[in-house]
Chains A and B, each alone.
Chain A
Amino acid sequence: MQLAGKYVLHAAPPKVWAALMNPDTLAHIVPGISRLEKTGDHTFNSILDIKLGPVSGSFTGNLQLDDLQEPNAFTLKAQQNSKIGNANAAVKINLSPIGDSDTEIAFDGDVKISGMLASLGQRVMGGVSNTLTKQFFSNLEKELAKTSAS
């Protein structure tokens, strides 16, 4: 499944970059995340609880931030396993400045899913991913607002 979209955040790229690279922030803003454990400079183990229409499951696996070009771009790689199916994603993320204080985040990638996730959840995958991405960015927005207020 293709995963692509754009989102505008009210903060400059370096600030957005810092937030995205901070495991504590990520643990707050990733929807459904119940555990995020740093295993290397840019690798994490994670547990995510996600509901996809008729199927829901707890995904365990790893996240990796790759091809880091601070503060412009990186690739998020995820290998997540669950009883309802496995997901394998590679998403390229670009940060471009808009004026002085805003950033446009563009993401584009591919998610491969298998098992029940594919056979039962595929129909709602698009919708659920949209909701989750929106949630992620609105959480990120709130997080950025908090840090600028403090």
Chain B
Amino acid sequence: MSTNGLIGRAVKRVEDKRFITGHGNYTDDIVLPHQTYAAFVRSQYAHARILNIDTSAAKEMPGVIAIFTGADLAAVNGVPCGWQVNFKNGDTMKEPKHPLLVADKARHAGDAIAVVIAETKEQATDAAEAVKVEMEELPCVVDAAKAVQAGAPLVHDDVPNNKSFDWVLGNPIEEVNEAMDKAAHVTTLDFVNQRLVPNAIEPRSYNSSYDPVSEKYTLYTSSQNPHLIRLLMCAFVLGIPEHKVRVVSPDVGGGFGSKIFHYTEEALLTWCSKKIGRPVKWTSERSESFLLDAHGRDHVTKAEMGFDANGKIVALRVKTYANLGAYLSTFSSCVPTYLHGTLLQGLYTTPKINVDVTAVFTNTTPVDAYRGAGRPEATYLLERLIDLAAHEMDMDPAELRFRNFIPPFDGVQQPGYQTQVALQYDSGNYEGVLKKGLEMVNYADVRREQQEAAHNGKLVGIGFSTYIEACGIAPSAIVGSLGCRAGLFESAQVRVQPTGKVSVYTGSHSHGQGHETTFAQIVADKLGINLDDVEIVHGDSEAVAFGMGTYGSRSLAVGGSAIMKSIDKIIEKGKKIAAHKLEASADDIEFKSGNFTVKGTDKSIGFGEVALTAYVPHVYPKDLEPGLDFASFYDPANFTYPFGCHIAVVEVDKETGKVSLKRFIAVDDVGNVINPMIVEGQIHGGVVQGIGQALFEGAEYDDNGQLTNASYMDYCMPRADDFPMFETASQVTPCPHNPLGVKGAGEAGTIGSAPAIVNAVIDALWSGGHKVKDIRMPLTPERVWHAMVDA
């Protein structure tokens, strides 16, 4: 229990001092002795055979140290995929080599053909331009549904129909078909969940070096999980001994998923650093980021939801084509499957569900996890369907949800809820968040205003999204049985220094989440010490024993729980030390507010004195080791399942189709909250990213596989003045299976928000008599106007 009240308090972020004063230390800031710089020769074409590479002129350019092409790397492995998904017939998914440099053909615009290393970045760039590459352009395919058709160009010559795998989950299709046939009403939606560019503010950057004396490599990488990069690079790509490799991720300026993955450049620069015997650095240009950072989403889906005469959902049938791009990125295969299909129960008691996914290669940038990863796709599918069904059946969308919600359960008195799609929810009170949301928005008033607006020729709409996500990724045994090739536990070491100050070494990595504050709050609270007396160390494989990194809203639920395990060990040992000093039995010692006290007496010693005694063990229990330093590994028992209700109120301009967001209400239940300010910040950021998908963002490829909006002049990012003040609230349903009772808040905003916006726009259009089923995201004025005019 809380001893000094730091848990639950909106403590200001300790890391912000260095960030807002310009003292952050990012990979590109690091310049090593004898530094060299890399630049890449990349394919202009989406699909083209390499006929000849002439580096002779480039090699003579000033400052050039080395040029490597695919031929030099023929014996080096490609970067691996971390999750195996099997075909329906049991065959292993197709995972063609993702080479560090392509030797035979380029498979997407931006594919790397050669790397040039020079004394300066400018020299490297100039020389890269002087490399002459002769290519034969080949027909290409960019659309997932077209890629599987007979006669489509093959991205990989040995992958028939461009299919990486097909996959099915849920109840047998016959049962779902039967239930669907009996349904009183079936709502059908064909839609696209468009492709997004992740746009971390800090471009990817790597600086790799090799020391021939110690035979050790050091890789600085702008990554969300340095230990995972070390494991993948050493064991799967370069075959170098892991204990000879140090991987450091210093300050990282945002990831949103895109910096989870092991990118080819990380391994290539490391390989090059040994070849040339000097450190090699590369920082992505923004135009390279657009073309190369793994994109998100890109699903083409047909979904059907069947209802009985009372509006109860009786069946859900889903067919999705997931575009994986040209190669399998690290976690690409699990996103449209185990992070998407498994969430299609939503918050509803749907008894029969079948989801069928075909994952496809195309001549586009690889697609992988992007904030929410699979769960925004699942939420969009369900929440669009249920809102549309309400329109079609002339029912209230809130009422339709109430009829279908899984009843409240706490996971302690009542068991977890077993879904039809593999997962078991931990705890939930789904009607609670919708009730709260309806109160906050003053639902009856908004509906009245909507009617008045319609009378006055204006289009006002209200849209709902009641979402659930699987976070706290992940229980190793469960993900292992689903194909994950790694354990997804977390490690933490809590080292109490002799003076009672505490260093915490966590395998989670902070790149905007505020771990240095939140984790310190937990430790200071539990040990009854000051926040300033706790230092959170992360991002260095040499300092932190092991780590699985930060993604899937896992840092607090998994990383925080590992810290809790170490704290428990420290308190237990502290009690033994205190008991010895106080001449009492350890069982009689209680620890509270930083003091070890003999129960029922005023005999007490402080945490600092116990710490000092542990390191100066002059008066010390005979059977106890000195020191106060514990490492722990925490493997969660289950995923955590945050949920919530997002409500959008919009006005649509009849003449132009422009959508104005009037209000946005977010009620999120992320379990217990350590720092409400940081949670609210995460919700705000997530909501903006989700609304960015709904209204503004989308990667657009032309038929030749060229990304046509690869700059901020053409790719529309959400901005502060696009939004009203968000109205947020939280409900707390603790997670029953981790020591902090936390569920995770990093992705909630992105997962919940997009369908609320689109539903609100559709609702506005229906209020004006335009019975529109779907508008493709992003809802640009042009698309909304066309939807109105064409309906």
Contacts and interface: CB of A to CB of B under 8 A. Distances in A.
Contact of B291 (A113, A119, A122): A119
Contacts of B109: 114-115, 118-119
A43 interface: no
Given A83-B129, A86-B44, A113 B713 contact: no
Given A54-B711, A83-B129, A114-B109, A119 B290 contact: yes
Given A83-B129, A86-B44, A119-B109, A113 B287 contact: no
B708 A122 contact: yes
A114 B287 contact: no
Given A83-B129, A123-B714, A118 B704 contact: yes
Interface in B98-137: 109, 129, 137
Nearest to A125: B708
Contact of B287 (A53, A120, A122): A120
A116 interface: yes
Nearest to A88: B137
Given A113-B706, A119-B290, A85 B713 contact: no
Contact of A112 (B704, B707, B709): B704
A104 to B, nearest CB: 31
A8 to B, nearest CB: 32
A119 B706 contact: yes
Interface string A93-122: 000000000000000000011111011101
B710 interface: yes
B523 to A, nearest CB: 47
B702 interface: yes
Interface in A47-101: 53-54, 83, 85-86
Contacts of A86: 44
A123 B714 CA distance: 7
Contacts of B711: 54, 119-120
Interface in B684-718: 702, 704, 706-711, 713-714
B128 to A, nearest CB: 10
A118 B287 CA distance: 12
A53 B710 CA distance: 14
A126 to B, nearest CB: 12
Interface residues of A, number: 15
A119 B704 contact: no
B783 to A, nearest CB: 18
Nearest to A123: B714
B153 to A, nearest CB: 15
A102 B591 CA distance: 101
B45 interface: yes
Given A85-B44, A114-B45, A114-B109, A120 B710 contact: yes
Nearest to B42: A115
Given A54-B713, A83-B129, A114-B109, A119 B45 contact: no
B112 to A, nearest CB: 14
A123 B713 contact: yes
B340 to A, nearest CB: 29
B708 A119 contact: yes
B708 A114 contact: no
Interface in B659-705: 702, 704
B702 A118 contact: yes
A123 B46 CA distance: 19
B316 to A, nearest CB: 39
Given A85-B44, A114-B109, A119 B707 contact: yes
A128 to B, nearest CB: 14
Interface string A118-150: 111011000000000000000000000000000
Contacts of B44: 85-86, 114-115, 118
Nearest to A53: B713
A85 B43 CA distance: 10
B198 to A, nearest CB: 16
A123 B707 CA distance: 11
B706 A118 contact: yes
B702 A122 contact: yes
A9 to B, nearest CB: 33
A113 B706 CA distance: 8
A118 B700 CA distance: 11
Contacts of A113: 704, 706
B715 to A, nearest CB: 10
A114 B287 CA distance: 14
Contacts of A85: 44
A119 B710 contact: yes
A96 B544 CA distance: 78
The listed residue with most B CB atoms (<10 A of its CB), out of A54, A83, A85, A120, is A120
B672 to A, nearest CB: 45
B325 to A, nearest CB: 16
B713 A116 contact: no
Q: Find the residue from B46, B287, B708, B709 having the highest chain A CB count within 10 A.
A: B708
Nearest to B714: A123
B3 to A, nearest CB: 56
A62 B460 CA distance: 57
Nearest to A1: B702
Contacts of B46: 114
A54 B704 CA distance: 21
Contacts of B129: 83
Contacts of A118: 44, 109, 702, 704, 706-708
A136 to B, nearest CB: 25
Contacts of A122: 702, 706, 708-709, 714
Contacts of A53: 713
A92 to B, nearest CB: 20
B287 A119 contact: yes
A113 B702 CA distance: 10
A85 B287 CA distance: 13
A86 B135 CA distance: 11
Contacts of A115: 44, 109, 706
Most interface-central of B44, B129, B287, B709 (chain A CB within 10 A): B44
Interface string B354-380: 000000000000000000000000000
Contacts of B287: 116, 119-120
A34 B291 CA distance: 32
Contacts of B702: 118, 122
A123 B291 CA distance: 17
B611 to A, nearest CB: 58
B202 to A, nearest CB: 21
Among B709, B713, B714, the most chain A Cβ lie within 10 Å of the Cβ of B714
A54 B711 CA distance: 10
Nearest to B704: A112
A54 to B, nearest CB: 7
B668 to A, nearest CB: 37
Interface in B24-52: 44-46
Q: Which of B46, B137, B706, B713 has the most CB of A within 10 A?
A: B706
Contacts of B291: 119
A41 to B, nearest CB: 26
A1 to B, nearest CB: 8
B704 A114 contact: yes
Interface string B371-396: 00000000000000000000000000
Nearest to B44: A115
A116 B711 CA distance: 10
A115 B113 CA distance: 14
A6 to B, nearest CB: 25
A9 B492 CA distance: 79
A137 B710 CA distance: 32
A119 B704 CA distance: 11
The 8 closest A-B pairs by CB, nearest first: A115-B44, A118-B706, A119-B710, A114-B44, A122-B708, A119-B707, A83-B129, A123-B714
5 contacts: A115-B44, A119-B109, A119-B291, A120-B710, A122-B709
Interface of A: 53-54, 83, 85-86, 112-116, 118-120, 122-123
Given A115-B706, A118-B704, A119-B706, 12 more contacts: A83-B129, A86-B44, A115-B109, A118-B702, A119-B109, A119-B290, A119-B711, A120-B714, A122-B708, A123-B708, A123-B713, A123-B714
